[in-house]
Amino acid sequence: MKLTLLSTTLTFGLAFSNPHRARGSLTEWAPAGPDDFRGPCPMMNTLANHAFLNHNGKNLTQDVVVGALTQALNFNESVATIMFQQALIANPEPNATFFSLDDLNRHNILEHDASMSRLDAFFGNNHIFNQIVFDTTTVFWTADTLDANMLANGKISRQLQSKAFNPNYTFTSTTEQFSLGEVAAPILIFGDIPSATVNKSLVEFFFQNEKLPVELGWTKQANAISLSDVLRMTQVISNATSLITGSSDASHATKRRDFHFGF
Ligand code: HEM
Ligand code: MG
């Protein structure tokens, strides 16, 4: 009786704090089986491996996705909902209410060129983790603690490689917004948000194993990740992609232009 009361209280407590079905766990983990879907997103794959998302990677409804992002990673409900809504376009069915991890593989819908850890579609498989590609990114991760500059340098380098060698290289301004979000994501989930830094081993472990780095001591953020956190971190990465150093005010710029063009 006591046990029933306790479990009832716990169940209600959980249901009250999070309206989504509780599922998955930080300690439970199994890779995809032969009939399971996985995609180009290391985090969606990770959440499926931990069964926060359906382990088969199919039928990912708003309830399932928002539940996973809030419970496993401590995104707040509204950011998690926006992410789900943005992903629905990946399902080719009109008025879809769910997507699968396989839908995310459709090239140039959400999946794009110059990924940090996957080949461009032109060169082969655009969704399986690729150690050689990842190595070309991590060359720029030059310290044990990653900052926005190192992450941004890896991103620019991947774009330059693709632009130089992939005749189908495509990267629109919409792609840029998603890409900046992806580069910022490891700091938001595994790092220190105020200083915009993250422990390199946590990020490498996550990419390479598609597993949350609990065994390396990671715990989810204490404060729910908000839209302003996401926007700020995306902006920090965007600023760090600039190849121009220092700052020059407009009057200097004008003077220099006058000098060069003689008027
Ligand atoms: C990449 C979807 C949430 C981390 C991607 C890509 C897709 C995607 C389609 C492939 C882009 C490319 O071609 O590189 C989604 C969806 C999400 C979600 C639908 C939620 C509804 C997250 C979260 C994280 C994350 C919460 C947090 C760590 C990443 C990273 C990449 C990525 C780091 C880049 C992989 C690479 O460049 O190799 N995501 N994502 N994603 N995603 Fe997600
Ligand atoms: Mg890609």
**Helices assigned H by DSSP within the chain:** 2-17, 42-49, 62-73, 77-87, 131-138, 148-165, 173-190, 200-209, 227-240, 250-261
Residue 161: both structure tokens together: 């490689």
Strand pairing class (98-99; 60-61): antiparallel
pLDDT-derived band at 248 (thresholds 50, 70, 90) equals low
The tens digit of pLDDT for each residue in 168-180 reads 999 999 999 999 9
Average pLDDT over residues 153-168: 98
Ligand number with the minimum distance to the CA of 162: 2
Which token pair is 105? 């593989």
Q: How far apart are CA 26 and CA 43, in angstroms?
A: 13
- Indicate which atom in ligand 1 lies nearest the CA of residue 104: 9
| Per-residue pLDDT tens digits for 193-212 | 999 999 999 999 999 999 99
| 3-class DSSP assignment, residue 35 | coil
Residue with tokens 């998302």: 53
Q: How confident is the model at residue 246 (pLDDT cuts 50, 70, 90)?
A: confident
Lowest mean pLDDT among 20-34, 141-155, 242-256: 242-256
In sequence order, the 6+-apart residues with CB closer than 8 A to the CB of 201 are 144, 213, 216
Taking the CA of 175 as reference, the closest ligand is 1
Residue 19 has pLDDT above 50, yes or no: yes
Range from 11-25, 201-215, 248-262 that averages highest in pLDDT: 201-215
Collapsed DSSP state (helix, strand, coil) of residue 199: strand
Predicted local distance difference test score (pLDDT) of residue 93 = 98
Please say whether the beta carbons of 52 and 72 come within 8 A.
yes
Residue 139 CA to residue 157 CA, distance in Å, equals 10
Tens-digit pLDDT profile for residues 105-153: 999 999 999 999 999 999 999 999 999 999 999 999 999 999 999 999 9
Q: Is the distance from CB of 57 to CB of 37 less than 8 angstroms?
A: yes
Nearest CA to ligand 1 atom 23: 43
Share of the chain above pLDDT 90, in %: 84
Residue 98's alpha-carbon distances to 62, 162, 172, 183, 263, in angstroms, are: 7, 32, 26, 25, 60
Contact in structure between 191 and 236 (CB atoms under 8 Å): no
- Mean pLDDT, the chain, whole residue set: 90
Q: pLDDT value at position 140?
A: 99
**Does pLDDT of 11 surpass 60?**
no
Q: Ligand 1 centroid to 43 CA: how many Å? A: 6
Looking at residue 18, what is its pLDDT? 62
Helix (H, G, I), strand (E, B) or coil at 192: strand
ipTM of the complex in this document: 0.99
Q: Which helix (H) or strand (E) holds 147?
A: strand 145-147
Query: What is the three-class DSSP state of 49?
Result: helix
Residues with CB under 6 A from ligand 1: 40-44, 65, 69, 73, 83-84, 87, 104, 110-112, 115-118, 182, 185-186, 189
